[in-house]
Amino acid sequence: MIYLDNAATSWPKPPEVLRAVAEFLEHAGGNPGRSGHRLSIAAGRTVYDAREAVAELFHSPDPLRVIFTQNATHAINLVLQGLLHPGDHVVTTGMEHNAVMRPLRALEKAGVRLSVAACSSDGALVPAAMRQALSSGARLAVVNHASNVTGTLSPLTEIAEIARRQGTLLLVDAAQTAGVIPIDMSALGIDFLAFTGHKGLLGPPGTGGLVLGDRVDAALLHPIMRGGTGSRSESEEQPEDLPDKFECGTPNGAGIAGLGAGIRWVRSRGVEAIRAHEVALTRQLVEGLLAIPDVTIYGPADATQRTAVVSFTIRNRRVSEIGLRLDEEYGILTRVGLHCAPAAHRTLGTFPEGTVRLAPGALTSREDMDATLCAIERLVKG
Amino acid sequence: MSGLGVALFHTTSAALRAEKTLLKHAVPTKLVPTPREFSSDCGMALRFEWGRAEQVRTLLAEARVEIAGLHPL
């Protein structure tokens, strides 16, 4: 079997991740931060260590500004629903996932003004369009770091610069890039970084987080959930302290333990080394697919301008049929359709049919890519 | 007087960050349940030698950990 759906969820996970989850349940099973006994402290330490690992990975100086969430969608909603009020202006791009578009469309109905900056047909954000959209002043800009459909990388340095000059806060959706592309929040000037734990960070599903940049005043953000935090228990008001303000109820301790182990695995291998491996796999896929007649690929031809996500279609073939045959006849697991990103497929011209998406990962080999190209070539022939 | 003191925090994350910071600077410390006479803020407090109170205050300020209270035991 060849698993090429790492853009949805990475698999397999390193054995260290599995061990960390089991270890947490076996030895650190208390409720982190709720009690002062040893099992609660052990659980609290595990969660705190993961917080520190996240902060170090993204070059954020303060682990207390790392808020654990269920996933990137949850983190994005914390910012969009917590920050934007009727009358505010928010800008996003034509390549966003529904994790961004659905909350934004709902906020638009509630009176938030929404502008969508156009992207070119290979999914690349046009900085001039972003500059234009931000020129009238916006409270927030929301951009993906890389598209989940084409892997196209956003020009983050440029966007951050434009946003800063306009006094606009910047939310980056790093669901596709955390763990596979180096991210330096401080250097880039990112105000909010939303990430998920179960893709490039190789952690379990149900983990993710929001990292608040150094310049953001957390008082601007209203919590979208309130409840027990184990802190300031005498009060019936949600505390303002970070991270508790945005983390209530018992956290996913076992998952966070696994996420911490995933990040340690990624850092020991090196994000740059993982990136180099994935660029090589992507180049192999792009060049191989371009050589097969009747195949169209989407996104930039240059593998360094994209993550390891390659979408393609075959002339006169349904994507669902291609996906099914790759699975049943060749044991190659892909994802077909719209990838929860109708806006991106409209930009690419592949709406509503969608594409077949190949997403290798840190643990995919060059031989896997050879076998995949071979299978697609045979599919095209018959 | 026991010669010991406790540092209190608003959150568990702050208590754990404080513990790591002090241990990194070789200040002996131990996480203990917060003595009820002081606060109900957070379940855990850090116990340390009270003679080091000023050093604890400085180290935690440098690490940007907010202290909710320092008390001799």
What is the model's pLDDT at position A70? 98
Select the residue of A35, A239, A243 nearest B43 (Cβ to Cβ).
A35
Contact check, Cβ <8 Å, B41/A40: no
* Residues of A (37-66) whose Cβ lies below 8 Å from B: 37, 40-41, 44-45, 47-48, 51-52, 61-64
Q: Which residues of B touch A239 (CB under 8 A)?
A: 10-11
Chain A CB within 8 Å of residue B41 CB = yes
Minimal CA separation from B45 to chain A, in Å = 8
Select the residue of B13, B32, B65 nearest A243 (Cβ to Cβ).
B13
What is the model's pLDDT at position B40? 58
- Burial string for A91-124 (b: 16+ CB within 10 Å, else e) reads bbbbbbbbbbbbbbeebeeeebbbbbbebeebbb
Torsion angle defined by CA atoms of residues A53, A33, A216 and A148, in that order, rounded to the nearest 10 degrees:
50
Q: Are strands A113-117 and B69-72 parallel, antiparallel or unpaired?
A: unpaired
What is the model's pLDDT at position B41? 66
- Alpha helices (H) along A146-252: 156-166, 185-188
A173 has which bridge partners? A144, A194
Residue A154 DSSP class: P
What is the model's pLDDT at position A111? 98
Structure tokens at B46: 């850090």
ipTM above 0.90, yes or no: no
All structural domains of chain A with their residue ranges: 2-10+270-380, 15-269
Contact check, Cβ <8 Å, A241/B14: yes
Torsion angle defined by CA atoms of residues A260, A265, A304 and A73, in that order, rounded to the nearest 10 degrees:
-20
Minimal CA separation from B34 to chain A, in Å = 7
Q: Catalytic residue positions of A?
A: 340
Residue A153: name the closest of A132, A174, A138 by CA: A174
* CATH architecture of the domain formed by A15-269: 3-Layer(aba) Sandwich (3.40)
Close Cβ partners of B11 (under 8 Å, ≥ 6 residues apart): A33, A64, A229, A230, A231, A239, A241, A242, A243, A244, B42
pLDDT at B1 over 80: no
Band (pLDDT 50/70/90 cuts) for residue B39 is low
Minimal CA separation from A229 to chain B, in Å = 8
If you average pLDDT over residues B48-71, what whole number do you get? 95
Q: Best residue in B9, B16, B31, B46 to probe A by mutation, most A CBs within 10 Å? A: B16
Superfamily per CATH, domain A2-10+270-380: Aspartate Aminotransferase, domain 1 (3.90.1150.10)
Torsion angle defined by CA atoms of residues B64, A195, A20 and A332, in that order, rounded to the nearest 10 degrees:
-160
pLDDT in tens, chain A (382 residues): 999 999 999 999 999 999 999 999 998 877 887 777 888 888 999 999 999 999 999 999 899 999 999 999 999 999 999 999 999 999 999 999 999 999 999 999 999 999 999 999 888 998 899 999 999 889 999 999 999 999 999 999 999 999 999 999 999 999 999 999 999 999 999 999 999 999 999 999 999 999 999 989 999 999 999 998 888 888 899 999 999 999 999 999 999 999 999 999 999 999 999 999 999 999 999 999 999 999 999 999 999 999 999 999 999 999 999 999 999 999 999 999 999 999 999 999 999 999 999 999 999 999 999 999 999 999 999 7
Chain A CB within 8 Å of residue B63 CB = no
What is the model's pLDDT at position A28? 82
B31 has which bridge partners? B46
Structure tokens at A130: 């972003």
Select the residue of B32, B41, B65 nearest A36 (Cβ to Cβ).
B32
Q: Which residue is closest to B9 within chain A, CA to CA?
A: A231
Q: Which residues of A touch B66 (CB under 8 A)?
A: 241
Q: Which residues of A touch B34 (CB under 8 A)?
A: 36
pTM for this entry: 0.95
Assign A327 to helix, strand or coil: helix
Q: Which residues of B touch A230 (CB under 8 A)?
A: 11-12, 42-43
Instruction: Quote the mean pLDDT of chain B.
Output: 91
* Residues of A (208-237) whose Cβ lies below 8 Å from B: 229-234
